[in-house]
Chains A and B, each alone.
Chain A
Amino acid sequence: MPRKTKEINEEKNVKKQSKLNEKISALIQNVLEPIEKVVDAEKPSKKSKTKSASTSSTKSTKTTKKATKKVLESEEKAEEKISKKTVTKNPEKEKSTTGKNKKEKATTKKVTKGKEKANKEDKDEKATIKKASKVTKSTNTKTTKSKTTSKSESTRTSTAKSKTNSTEVAAPTIVEYYDLPYKYNQTVVKVLYQNPTTLFVYWEISDSDIENYKRTYGENFFETTRPVLVVYNDTMNYHFEVDINDFANSWYFNIHDSKCDYRVELIRRPVFYNEKIKSDYVYISSSNKIESPNDRILFSTDEPYTVYFRNTKNNHQRKINLPKLLEQLNLKSKEFGFPIVRNVYDLYKYVYQIEDTGEFSVSFTNPSSGNPSSHSLSSRFI
């Protein structure tokens, strides 16, 4: 074939191809748009081999199979952005909001299939097929590379379309896609420490418990009561309350005492009069116990003037008189001859050569985790 004709043909092919690609993406959209529902991942996965939807940077879309993959991929990313646009088949069941911390950053994210499904916790694994709001996020993708395979793929897609329009969801390109579930349907309160002055708590009330409370205290139980966290300091034996709200499912709050045992109770206090609630609160759940970390040098000994030493070879432990131990170091003032180190505080001043041991607190900003996954590290050297 003469070179020119070849080139022209190629050009035609490219044009054809790009047109085809446009068609394909339009088709995919058409197929996906009306579906907008959640399919249990287990069902399609049985039918064919699972494939991972990779997010690692953008990729060349060589076949429409990949293009579809991309749609789902960008959908995954977009999903977080459009979390408020909740997609539900059964509007009655659409609800549930999450909020986060003090800023009340409410995030809504729930996709339910139906009433029965809603109660099932297997919502967590789903092959989601729905409209991707911003389909093409592709940068530098080699669309022109699509070859003949895309033809057959496009036929398949259009077949799928005709099926899906009339009936159920046809198994799309098989994609292994997961999202984290909004709920696990358990009543739980968990507390973790972030640092010596901040605790983090998250909670959840199971659907059955919600029903129970409604049955006991009336349908409007959750409207007539407000959630409160009661924080117990078991070491110093006091407690305080943190007002939260129903838009949240986790919270950060400050504590005043480091190195203390804490636990958190989730309760609800009536806002309006509710004749069924006799006391001024209803207990919901209690958290794990947690000890807040220590945040200072204690300068303490086990007993006054006593420290314990252990021989780690034979596990023999013995009591040592601290002043005697310090005496052995024989640290005396050169001028006056009296001992200069009488306790741990004195010793620290010499070991760390500082006047005020309070200075230690500022030293703990060492960088961490400098593995190549972190690109922040080298910037600190510039």
Chain B
Amino acid sequence: MQQKKGYVSFVLHAHLPFIHHPESDDYLEESWLYEAISETYIPLLTNFQKLVDEGVGFRITMSMTPPLLSMLDNKLLQKKYIHYLEQLIELSEKELVRTASDARLNELSKYYYDRYSNDLHLFRDVYKCNLIEQFKHFQDLGVLEIITCGATHGYFPILYVNEKTIRAQIAVGVQTYERYFGRKPRGIWLPECGYVPEADKYLKEFGIDYIITESHGILYANPTPIYGTVAPIVSPEGVIAFGRDMESSRQVWSSINGYPGDFNYREWYRDIGYDVDYDYIKPYIAHNGVRVPTGIKYYRITGKTEFKDYYNLQWAKDSAEKHAGHFLDSRTAQINGLAPYTNNPPIVLCPYDAELYGHWWYEGPYWLYILFKKIYYDDCNFELITPSEYIDKYPDMQVCSPCRSSWGANGYSEVWLNQSNDYAHKHLHVAGDRMVELANLYPMAEGIKKEALNQCARELLLAQSSDWLFIITNGTMVDYAKKRIKDHIGRFTKLYNQIKEDNIDLAFLKDIEEKDCVFPDIDYRIYI
């Protein structure tokens, strides 16, 4: 048995922008949540449960962002998710008949039928529609550490020209966490890992111990951290920063030889939503008849070719197991190499988007399950740990100021500030300033005015979501993202004027309160 020389820490960042449209069923964007529940959140939960049932000791950290928590808690979205599953089950039932003549395909149809039926059973009957409670359960067991995030994933390096707005992002992030998990979060996932030193004092104010930064957040720190990213550092204000390990990131993410590109894994783009006869699939695609992915996918990546072979469940599992073994060996070698150069055991931090696991990389949750089992049973030189546990075990760390950084392309703000989306920043800044102005003008508001001020805070926070800027840069669903910025800034400004003129339109207020119902307990005074 090898001696334990170091630690590996997995951090999965679970986030979706707040998308809630009680006014219409036509918003395709709502399905992002349903897809993520079926492909990522439920598979993660079931794999955690399997590990617990099998007595496998493991540790994992997840950030669950306030908009995601709000959506998971939303009764209407829960109902819509059940409807989404019912539709999929109906479709997969039809698929059983359609594919009856092809044994390989029929086996896959059966798999989807079982899988979605099981999802429905789990979600409705076992979890009682409450996924948050399920995640909380694993946190209470001590195997999962949940951390928080900025209220609506607002990107700090853009917002911090008005520091009160980042303070509010942190405050609401912490409050939402407490509401759902009944305790304070120890860590925060800075939206997009966007670090600015100006946020430190507010992070401390709300009791945050640690943050996650991109690798150069640590490497380019001042003074230079002597152990690089393999040990946390503490900022002069007292915020502890863990940096992403580059080697393990590359292994999973690499476009050339990253695990998710394996030829046996499921091909995301080949979906029966695009492939089968139009009249047959029509009831299951977008309401306006546009073909969209349904979630039933029969092909594997196969290779760099247009020709795609059928997905094979066993082959995919074999590849996941092979990759888990490779990851384990690589980390063992890495930690063997690192251990002599650090005073405390090195920590290799592996942060990923949670939705990479299952949604994009279909076999990801299974890979994690196998990896955790291997780490527990196999002869390896490291253990899994959460950042909190590491801090408690090794509280001694170098004092350095982390570097302003993000995990976006090229490491700084280019994704959220470029020629496609820079028009929005002025409006975000003005709305931020106006919110602070309102809070200071009416610090003791009551009744409808208080309601309106709280709604203003919600509208501002929703406008600040980094997702809209990201989507605009990315070039998909651009109209929707632009509309969301316009809507929230528009609603905010309208309310701002009404509050100042003392002429609040109650019908309007009620209408937008219903649509933008995020953070029911918000108190606008956070902007004072």
**Taking CB as reference atom, which chain B residue is nearest A363?**
B246
User: If A194-B413, A300-B222, A366-B214 touch, does A374 touch B470 (CB 8 Å cutoff)?
Assistant: yes
Select one of B287, B411, B425, B471 contacting A59, CB under 8 A.
Answer: B287
Residues of chain B from 221 to 254 with CB closer than 8 A to chain A in the complex: 221-224, 226-228, 230, 234, 238, 240, 244, 246, 249-250, 253
Contact A200/B417 with A50-B508, A360-B219, A375-B476 known, Cβ cut-off 8 Å: yes
A29 at the interface (CB under 8 A from B): no
Main secondary structure, interface of A, reads loop
Question: Given A125-B490, A193-B157, A200-B422, A56–B28 Cβ distance below 8 Å?
Answer: yes
Cβ contact of B410, chosen from A180, A307, A365, A371, cutoff 8 A: A365
A54 to chain B: closest residue by CB:
B24
Query: Which chain B positions have C-beta within 8 A of A281?
Result: none
Instruction: List residues 334-380 of chain A with CB under 8 A from any CB of chain B.
Output: 341, 344, 347-348, 350-353, 360, 363-378, 380
Which residue among A180, A311, A350 has the maximum number of chain B CB atoms within 10 Å of its CB? A180
- Is A1 an interface residue when CB atoms closer than 8 A count as contact? no
**CA A370 to CA B261, docked complex, whole Å:** 15
Interface: A42 (CB within 8 A): yes
Q: B220 touches which one: A105, A250, A298 (CB < 8 A)?
A: A298
B29 A369 Cβ-Cβ under 8 A = no
Q: How large is the interface on A (under 10, 10 to 19, 20 to 34, 35 or more residues)?
A: 35 or more
Residues in B with CB closer than 8 Å to A105 are 419
Chain B residues contacting A153 (CB-CB under 8 Å) are none
User: In the bound complex, what is the Cα–Cα distance between A300 and B220 (angstroms)?
Assistant: 10
CA distance A310 to B398 in the complex (A): 6
CB pair A100–B406 under 8 Å, yes or no, is no
Smallest CB separation, A293 vs chain B (Å): 4
| B360 with A178: CB separation less than 8 A | no
Number of interface residues of B (CB under 8 A): 126
How far, in angstroms, from A351 to B219 measured CA to CA in the complex?
A: 12
- Which residues from chain B contact A77 at a C-beta distance below 8 Å? 479
Any A CB within 8 A of the CB of B27: yes
Q: Encode contact with A along B407-419: 1 for CB under 8 Å, 0 otherwise.
A: 1111111110111
Query: Do A317 and B409 touch (CB < 8 A)?
Result: no
Whether A341 pairs with B341 at a CB distance below 8 angstroms is yes
Q: How far is the CA of A139 from the CA of B489 in the complex (A)?
A: 29
Complex: how many Å from CA A124 to CA B426?
A: 13
Chain A, residue nearest B260 (CB) = A381
Interface membership of A278, Cβ < 8 A: no
Interchain Cβ contacts within 8 Å, total number: 325
Instruction: Say whether, besides A299-B224, A374-B470, A381 and B255 are in contact (CB < 8 Å).
Output: yes
Tell whether, in the assembled complex, residue A312 and residue B391 are in contact, meaning their CB atoms are under 8 Å apart: yes
Which chain B residues (175-204) contact chain A, with CB distance < 8 Å? 192-193
Establish whether residues B497 and A309, one from each chain, have CB atoms under 8 Å apart when the complex forms.
Answer: no
Give chain B nearest CB distance to A81 CB in angstroms.
12
A63-120 at interface with B (beta carbon < 8 Å): 76-77, 100-101, 105
Which residues on the B side are within 8 Å of A310 (C-beta)?
234, 396-399
- The segment out of B13-21, B97-105, B375-383, B446-454 that lies at the interface is B13-21
- Per the 8 Å Cβ criterion, residues 13-65 of B in contact with A are 15-17, 21, 23-24, 26-29, 32, 35-36
Please tell me if the beta carbons of B29 and A373 are within 8 angstroms of each other in the complex: yes
Q: Which residue of A lies closest to B351 (CB)?
A: A366
- Interface residue stretch chosen among A5-13, A229-237, A324-332: A324-332
Which residue of A190, A195, A351 is within 8 Å of B338 (Cβ)? A351
- By a CB distance below 8 angstroms, the chain A residues around B386 are none
User: Given B224, B238, B430, B467, which contacts A371 in the complex, CB threshold below 8 Å?
Assistant: B467
What would be 28 A-B contacts, judged by CB atoms less than 8 Å apart?
A52-B21, A52-B24, A52-B515, A55-B483, A56-B28, A77-B479, A101-B419, A178-B493, A180-B485, A200-B425, A294-B404, A295-B220, A299-B224, A308-B398, A312-B209, A312-B396, A329-B342, A347-B228, A364-B216, A368-B408, A371-B16, A373-B29, A374-B471, A374-B474, A378-B260, A378-B268, A378-B269, A380-B258
Q: Which 10 A-B pairs have the closest CB atoms?
A: A178-B490, A293-B404, A370-B353, A381-B261, A195-B412, A364-B411, A140-B289, A56-B27, A380-B255, A313-B395
Known: A56-B480, A193-B157, A351-B342. 12 other contacts (CB 8 A): A49-B507, A54-B26, A176-B487, A176-B490, A294-B220, A298-B221, A300-B222, A300-B224, A312-B395, A331-B340, A365-B410, A376-B474
Name B residues whose Cβ lies closer than 8 Å to a Cβ of A. 15-17, 21, 23-24, 26-29, 32, 35-36, 157-158, 161, 192-193, 209, 214-216, 219-224, 226-228, 230, 234, 238, 240, 244, 246, 249-250, 253, 255, 258, 260-261, 265, 267-269, 286-290, 301, 304, 337-338, 340-343, 352-353, 355-356, 359-361, 391-392, 395-399, 403-415, 417-419, 422-427, 429-430, 466-467, 470-471, 474-477, 479-480, 483, 485-487, 489-491, 493-494, 497-498, 505, 507-508, 511-512, 515
